[in-house]
Amino acid sequence: YRVPVQRVGVRDVFGQSGEVDELMRAYGLTDENLVKTAKDIVKHRI
């Protein structure tokens, strides 16, 4: 069976130190970005 996969996570970059909220924003892992990615996946399903 063909199963589409979309990776969501931190890119291959050196890590940083900081507050959790700051790091999540820096790596694009905010609620808004995750919801947008999920909606894009559902929208473009074949």
pLDDT of residue 23: 94
Rounded Cα gap, residues 10 and 26, in angstroms: 10
The residues near 8 (Cβ < 8 Å, ≥ 6 apart) are: 34, 37
Rounded Cα gap, residues 28 and 8, in angstroms: 10
pLDDT of residue 3: 78
pLDDT of residue 19: 97
Rounded Cα gap, residues 26 and 23, in angstroms: 5
Domain that holds residue 31: 20-46
Q: In sequence order, what DSSP letters do the residues of 10-40 get, joined into one string?
A: --S-----S-HHHHHHHTT--HHHHHHHHHH
pLDDT of residue 46: 52
pLDDT in tens, the chain (46 residues): 887 788 888 888 888 999 999 999 999 999 999 999 889 988 887 5
Q: What is the pTM for the complete model shown?
A: 0.67
pLDDT of residue 42: 87
Do the domain assignments include residue 45? yes
Q: How many domains is the chain partitioned into structurally? A: 1
Do the domain assignments include residue 42? yes
Do the domain assignments include residue 44? yes
